[in-house]
Copies of this chain bind each other. A is one copy, B any other.
Amino acid sequence: MGEPMTQTKQRTADEQRLTGAPAGLGGLGADRDDGEEAFDGQEAEALLHRARELVDPELRAAIGTLPGSMRQVALYHFGWQHADGTPATGNAGKAIRPALVLAAASALGGPAARAAAVRAAAAVELIHNFTLLHDDVMDRDPTRRHRPTAWAVFGDVDAILAGDALQALALRLLAEDPHPASAMAAARVAQCVVELCAGQHTDTAMERRAPGDVTLDEVLAMAEAKTGALLGCACALGALYAGAAVEDVDALDAFGREAGLAFQLIDDVIGIWGDPHRTGKPAGADLAARKKSLPVVAALTSGTPAAAELAELYGAKGAATEEDLARTALAVERAGGRDWAQAQAADRMARAMQELARAVPDPEAAGGLLALAEFVTRRSA
């Protein structure tokens, strides 16, 4: 969590400004006034906080079974240890995926299903962190959660092996879980890993291609595989642990995927126009890296005069100046990249709400999942 809950309301207002999101983006499918929106943010924060509390003991127990070196790397990666092995207060991430598992189980099976799904929630979080460890190695990303990445501290070998071990731990947790849904959950998680790998592959391959060669469909498919798949899998696992029917499991998977895509769209908008103090990255970092993010590809493929200017800026060699970055951001905006991303995010959230309403018609039961979906499309960093 990392931030006191009293900041929620201020942050929500900030993010609307930052993303330029219409006031109702996070509230799609619900008709609420400002006071209720702030309450939603609080509900999500409470769900995330509770998920962390429930899942962390499972995660720590699982990681505690690892042999020395991999345990050190994993504890460092989760923010529970400093590089020298001394305990750290921890910043293990926002626990969005485990919170989705628990909220989905609760929505379809009540508190008993929620309690039964804690181990599955931990498994999903282990998978997420396995992919982060490996992605950081492949992308040579130097920082994660405001700290040096595991490979930067321990080297590639240790980071690769710790990632391998976390995938194994996740699937061991499910294999050892006597719950009748655990085998179906494990099969779904394993299939999701393949999709995550495919997404990462497309992402790295795409970054090597010329900006003009990438289509919007490709980058949307990549974002669905890389971000949507695991959010969908998390929701599907909750439904499985609630003993839901196949069509409801699939509807919750689709809900998570669409919400995940909305999240990625907003995340990409923040990656261009977000406040560096809040994102933890320099202003325009995604543009400086000439990242083919969703708004950029939408702009590049818009056929507008600004698209041609953007293509030229993205095609230039060498480091971009602050002025270049400002011009690039403006070109993306003029070419309609920002508006498109926001409209797409709203559209994806609307689809997510439809899927949710299909599987969980009772608005009260759906409240937790709704709050989490709104939360992830409101914030980033």
Residue pair A194, B176 in contact (C-beta under 8 Å): no
Tell me whether A200 and B161 are in contact in the complex, defined as CB-CB below 8 angstroms, given that A182-B183, A183-B175, A186-B175 are known contacts.
yes
Any chain B CB within 8 A of the CB of A19?
A: no
Decide if A167 touches B167 in the complex (CB within 8 Å). yes
A187 at the interface (CB under 8 A from B): yes
Residues of B within 8 Å of A193, CB to CB, are: 164-165, 167-168
- Asked whether any CB of chain B lies closer than 8 Å to the CB of A160, the reply is yes
> For A69, A164, A187, A195, which residue has the most chain B Cβ atoms within 10 angstroms?
A164
The 8 Å CB contact of A161, one of B158, B169, B201, is B201
Interface bits A152-170 vs B (CB < 8 Å: 1, else 0):
0000111011111101110
Q: Please encode chain A, from 69 to 109, with 1 for each CB lying within 8 Å of some chain B CB and 0 for all others.
A: 11000000000000000000000000000000000000000
Contact A187-B176, Cβ < 8 Å, known A134-B160, A156-B138, A164-B134: yes
Separation of A88 and B176 alpha carbons in the complex (Å): 39
Q: State the CA gap A206–B305 with chains docked (Å).
A: 59
Q: Check if A215 is an interface residue, CB within 8 A of chain B.
A: no
Question: Are A194 and B168 in contact, CB atoms less than 8 angstroms apart?
Answer: yes
**Cβ contact within 8 Å between A70 and B194:** yes
Q: Does A18 reach chain B (CB closer than 8 Å)? A: no
* A residues apposed to B, CB below 8 Å: 65-67, 69-70, 130, 134, 137-138, 156-158, 160-165, 167-169, 171-172, 174-176, 182-184, 186-187, 190-191, 193-195, 197-198, 200-201, 204-205
Q: What are 29 contact pairs spanning A and B, CB under 8 A?
A: A65-B194, A66-B198, A67-B195, A67-B201, A69-B198, A70-B194, A70-B197, A134-B160, A134-B161, A138-B156, A138-B160, A157-B201, A158-B201, A161-B197, A161-B200, A162-B197, A163-B164, A164-B164, A167-B167, A167-B193, A168-B193, A168-B194, A169-B190, A171-B175, A172-B191, A174-B186, A175-B184, A175-B186, A175-B187
